[in-house]
Chain A
Amino acid sequence: MKVVAQRPESLTDAPFHYCPGCTHGIIHRLVAECLDELNLREQAIGICPVGCAVLAYDYFNCDMLEAAHGRAPAIATGIKRLLPDRLVFTYQGDGDLASIGMGEIVHASGRGENITVIFVNNAIYGMTGGQMAPTTLLGQVTTTSPYGRTAEQAGYPLKMAELLAQNQGAAYICRTAVNNPANVMRTKKAIKKAFQTQMQAKGFSMVEILSTCPTNWGLSPLEALEWLEKNMIPYYPLGEFKVS
């Protein structure tokens, strides 16, 4: 018998702190598998967000930094400009990237900053306890939209992949999901493609990954996967928005 699935070298052995069924764990593993398979672990520098993935520096087995809320793309820019041959990636959630860090992400993509952004969109603030995110869907109940988000009061959820794909500096923009095995495989392919885009110095790359938050959605892990498929995918269509 030969081993076909085991822990990648680009992850440390630390157990994840995430809630049961939270798909951050799957995405961490996919990022690490791509680093392994492209032999990039020793030249990778990752930047964690503020949010549930704030502790990701304990999990990725490569050089890591922890950023102020939303600033990961600016930090990545500072690193990449001085070490252009390294693989520099940020790992950010929806509040971090699309709310408080909107300025940094738009300008990093606009400059065609040669970095890769792993954007985990679960339509809610996880770490702070389930508040409304810029990607929270209309009607979705959160602790700060207790009667459901309305367009009148809070506007519309932001479609980051579509928004950033308009920038000329963006080289690869893709949206995937991790709600079933086929989509998990597609997500891995997209992450790999994003890393390759960077290593070929083509410019800014981002994979937006629709992810679950069973705890703050108030659903079981399996119900959360269904909720993602029925509610998020229709509003946030999957696919590649920019390839160059």
Chain B
Amino acid sequence: MAKGRVTFRTERCKACELCVRFCPQQILSLNKTMINPLGYHPIAVVREEACNGCGICALMCPDLVITVERE
């Protein structure tokens, strides 16, 4: 069971990857199989179980795409 959970407003993601770069668990990646209404491949979690809810992804996201929850 993961200690944290991240959810996304994927329709607002601009694929800048700042969250990907700074996630200490390296569990975020762009979803290349999707294109959002803005025309970007939006952000997604690749290993949900590894999220510790540290919040760094949301800290670095310029577009308030990410909500973070923690145990």
Contacts and interface: CB of A to CB of B under 8 A. Distances in A.
Let me know if chains A and B touch directly in the complex, using CB atoms closer than 8 Å: yes
Interface string A10-31: 0100011011111111100100
Interface of A: 1-7, 11, 15-16, 18-26, 29, 180-181, 184-185, 214, 221-222, 225
15 contacts: A1-B70, A3-B68, A4-B53, A4-B70, A5-B68, A6-B67, A19-B14, A20-B15, A20-B40, A22-B62, A25-B61, A26-B61, A181-B60, A184-B60, A225-B18
A185 B59 contact: yes
**What band does the interface of chain B fall in when counting residues whose beta carbon is under 8 Å from A?**
20 to 34
Interface string B38-71: 0010000000000001011011111110111111
Contacts of A22: 62
Interface of B: 4-5, 12, 14-18, 21-22, 40, 53, 55-56, 58-64, 66-71
A3 B60 contact: no
A26 B66 CA distance: 12
B32 to A, nearest CB: 16
A16 B62 contact: yes
A1 B64 contact: no
A15 B37 CA distance: 13
A1 B69 contact: yes
Given A181-B59, A184-B60, A15 B67 contact: no
Contacts of B55: 4-5
A222 B17 contact: yes
Contacts of A20: 14-16, 40
Contacts of A184: 59-60
Contacts of B4: 1, 4
B59 A25 contact: no
Interface core residue of A5, A11, A25 (most chain B CB under 10 Å): A5
Given A1-B4, A4-B55, A181-B60, 7 more contacts: A7-B67, A18-B62, A21-B17, A22-B62, A26-B60, A184-B60, A222-B18
A18 B69 CA distance: 26
Given A1-B69, A4-B53, A185-B59, A11 B18 contact: no
Nearest to B24: A181
Contact of B67 (A3, A222, A225): A3
